[in-house]
Amino acid sequence: MKWHCDKRGFTLIELLVVIAIIAILAAILFPVFAQAREKAQQISCVSNLKQIILASQMYLQDYDQRFMSEWQSFDNGACTGCWPCQNGMCTGVTSPGMVGWYTGPKTNPNLYGLNWAYEMQPYIKNEQLMTCPATRDSAWNPPSNTDSNSYIYNSDVGDHNWRLGIYSPALTLSEIPQPSSLIVFWDKGDTERVVEIQGWNGNGWNCTPTSPPANPDNSYICPVCYPDWLPPHNNGRDYAFADGHAKWEPDSAMWDVSVPKKWYYFCQQ
């Protein structure tokens, strides 16, 4: 007796149907996976900022309730009127060998002065907290293995007369009328070999809420204080506030021209 085995395979139509089903499932699931990944990165970033702001609270306890200075003089006080500076001399242009405030948490503090991130390292004790997992590498000053930072310090906290062009000590917690509303740190959207501050940008001289311009990304208003500080988390970013809490907010709700009280302590008075 002979046994006959049916070796019939899939037809072309059947294969195309299977491929189409796989493609449809992929089209449905891949965006979900991407959103889940973005959400996980956002949560991780909030956790980073939460730990950084709690580290600043510990710093406050050791320094009479005063926040970290944006930068400190060094070389026996020879560099007190400019930033960045090197060996007691102001540097108008920063080269790779003259980093000044362009430095990560631990690079050459004896040569370049102490920035706010370096001051906080004894309380953070984890340099990885300085980098948001969702950020991209900066094109102009890419991060290195030892210098990498994604977060910005509010100049209105680190230098309470910055808007007047006068270098002054950082705020004390008691000087802030509404600590739960004042931003201390936020996420700039890229990571680089730079310890950032808000600098001179922002609406730091006007406490009257106004509408943002049509294209705020090119208007040097915060949180996009510079055009490359793009939101890293679903058109928003993470913030840490003076009372110690951290949360995500969309950029549309956080323009400093619209909500100046969240950015400038003197607007809360």
Nearest to 263 by CA among 234, 223, 236, 226: 223
Per-residue pLDDT 10s for the chain (269 aa) are 555 555 566 677 777 888 888 888 777 766 655 666 777 788 899 999 999 999 999 999 999 999 998 765 544 444 555 544 555 555 544 433 333 344 444 555 554 456 788 788 889 888 788 889 988 888 877 887 767 889 999 988 988 777 776 767 899 999 999 999 999 999 999 988 777 888 767 766 789 999 988 888 778 889 998 888 999 998 999 999 999 999 999 999 999 999 999 999 999 98
From residue 127, how far is each of 32, 103, 105, 132, 143 by CA, in Å?
Answer: 31, 13, 7, 11, 13
What confidence score (pLDDT) does residue 7 get?
A: 58
Per-residue pLDDT tens over the stretch 104-135: 445 555 544 567 887 888 898 887 888 899 88
Q: Where are the beta strands (DSSP E) in the chain?
A: 85-86, 89-90, 136-137, 149-153, 183-192, 196-197, 236-241, 246-250
Beta-carbon neighbour count of residue 198 at 10 Å?
26
Taking the whole predicted model, whether its pTM rises above 0.85 is answered as: no
Q: Calculate ∠ Cα 117-138-239, nearest 5°.
A: 50
Pair of tokens at residue 144: 């290195």
The amino acid present at 41, given as its one-letter code, is Q
Per-residue pLDDT, 154: 93
User: Which token pair is 127?
Assistant: 């340099």
Q: What is the dihedral of CA 90, 96, 99, 104, to 10 degrees?
A: 170
Angle at 70 between CA 67 and CA 76, to 5 degrees: 105
Tokens of 151: 């977060």
Residue 191's Cβ-count burial label (10 Å; 0-12, 13-18, 19+) is buried
